[in-house]
Amino acid sequence: MRKLVFTFFAVLILQIHPLTGFAASAEQAVAGCVACHGDKGNSVAPIFPKLAGQNKKYLAKQLRDFKLHLRKNPTMEGLVAGIDDKTIDTIAAYYAAQQIQATPTPLPDEDEDDEDDESDSNAFSNTEELLKTGHELYLSGNLETRVPACSACHAPDAMGNPLAGFPSLKNQHATYLVATLKQFREGERKNDSTGMMHMSAKRMSTAEINAVSTYLANLK
């Protein structure tokens, strides 16, 4: 009986103080993510996306997409398999509340599989030119090749559209951005519901992908 009363009050306290309950369970829920995504979602290794400050709606959608195998990544698909819906929302809210930290990035490394694209990747002689090209493409797209303006959906400041669940791109690792844009381009990542990212990425050259990713990673 005493145990029952104790449990009753413990549950009551957790409900009265949702923040205490939230903090404990959120931290537990993300304990297995820190190794790759870093402390509070600021990953150190640039192949792992930063999650800090990303909008809740986008994060929750990605986790559900991995769970449903709509977005492919063996590690992530395995990790989310046992995570229930409520915990997905807790994790998404936790990372959305963190602050993203910039990691100033030089030019991404040349990719070995892109040998046929070599002239393309070498089209830029220096980082300054790369940042300028990335900036122009981001804000206005490429009229000639019909690449749409990224800013139309991801916002002029690249913070995304939280209500629509369009992701923030500001200060994400360039290496990850390059990788995921190539996946959209080749159709390996196709969890964008109406194909809008595939339509944008398939028109981008490797040089443009490198430029816009470097621009986004270094945004002030």
Provide the binding-site residues for ligand HEC, judged by CB under 6 A.
30, 32-33, 35-37, 48-49, 51, 59, 61-63, 73, 75-76, 79, 91, 147-148, 150, 152-154, 166-167, 169, 172, 177, 180-181, 191-192, 196-197, 200, 204, 212
Cα separation, 62 vs 82, in Å, equals 15
Q: What distance in Å separates the CA atoms of residue 211 and residue 138, rounded to the nearest whole number? A: 9
CA distances from 68 to 78, 83, 147 (A): 11, 12, 30
Nearest approach, Cβ of residue 118 and ligand HEC (Å): 22
- Say how far apart CA 128 and CA 113 lie, in whole Å: 25
Which residue number, 9 or 177, has a Cβ lying nearer to ligand HEC?
A: 177
Query: For residues 145 and 30, what is the distance between their CA atoms, to the nearest angstrom?
Result: 42
Cβ proximity to ligand HEC, 62 vs 171, nearer residue: 62
Q: How far is the CB of 169 from ligand HEC (least distance, A)?
A: 6
Is the Cβ of residue 1 or residue 112 nearer to ligand HEC in the bound state?
112
Rounded CA Rg of the chain = 20
The least distance separating ligand HEC from the CB of residue 10, rounded to whole angstroms, comes to 26
Task: Specify the residue, 97 or 152, whose C-beta has the smaller distance to ligand HEC.
Answer: 152
Q: Give min distance, CB of 178 to ligand HEC, in A.
A: 9
Report the distance separating Cα 139 and Cα 153, nearest Å.
10
**Nearest distance in Å: CB 4, ligand HEC:** 33
Pick between residue 14 and residue 33 the one whose CB is nearest to ligand HEC.
33
Query: Which residue type does 107 have?
Result: L
> Cα(136)–Cα(182) distance, rounded to whole angstroms?
20
